[in-house]
Amino acid sequence: MSRWQYLIPLVAILLLSMMLHEIAHGYVAYRLGDPTAKSRGRLTLNPLRHLDPIGTAMFVITYLAGGFIFGWAKPVPISPYYFRNRQKGMALVGVAGPLTNFVIAVIFWAILMLLRSTLIQPGSIRTAVGIILILAFQVNVVLGIFNLIPIPPLDGSRVLGGFLPRRAYEAWVSIDRYGMYIVIALLVIVAYSPLGDSLSRGYDALFRALLPGYF
């Protein structure tokens, strides 16, 4: 399959994975007393409710450009003032998204390991199916790890915030307004510096260890 042929399944995997990621945030918030996501119809498996046109376009553009893949789904609205403990509540909400991606990755890992003897057949149409399953596994591992980076507004910053003193937490949360710029700068640095090569080698080693025979 060519790069163009992988585009549709890759975007579909990314959108599905990020949709479940966002639903997990909203569901945990709902369980902690915040009805915002539910009242706005965001606890749904309808992908159109989670689609961000610009974020989806960025997936396509960055994929075709051949560099790092970057994009986003529409964030689920959270009102932490409903939580009994705002810091701990946001930490639980934050960790729910990456944890969901890791669970999805484990499911695809199990499928790949069970079907390994069937999927590793060069020249077979099943090889393409195997590659798509590998993409689904890799996407969710990377999403889970990336979102745990403790930089606002990534989920890792929410988890870290749960352990900060109150005054430090207020200052930490205030950085959120600049968070997207920080994340974009981080991605550019990773993509166009030796750090990016090191991370790629690290991910390759991880995937070879977790999926022996596929790489």
State which amino acid sits at residue 16.
Answer: L
Active-site hit among 14, 21, 22, 63: 22
The two structure tokens encoding residue 17: 């994975």
Q: State the burial class of residue 42 (Cβ atoms within 10 Å of its Cβ: 0-12, 13-18, 19+).
A: buried
CA distances from 181 to 20, 44, 58, 161, 162 (A): 25, 29, 15, 20, 23
CB neighbours of residue 30 within 10 Å: 20
Give the Cα separation of 138 and 157 in Å (integer): 23
C-beta of residue 79 within 8 angstroms of C-beta of residue 89: no
Q: Is 22 one of the annotated active-site residues of the chain?
A: yes
Active site residues: 22
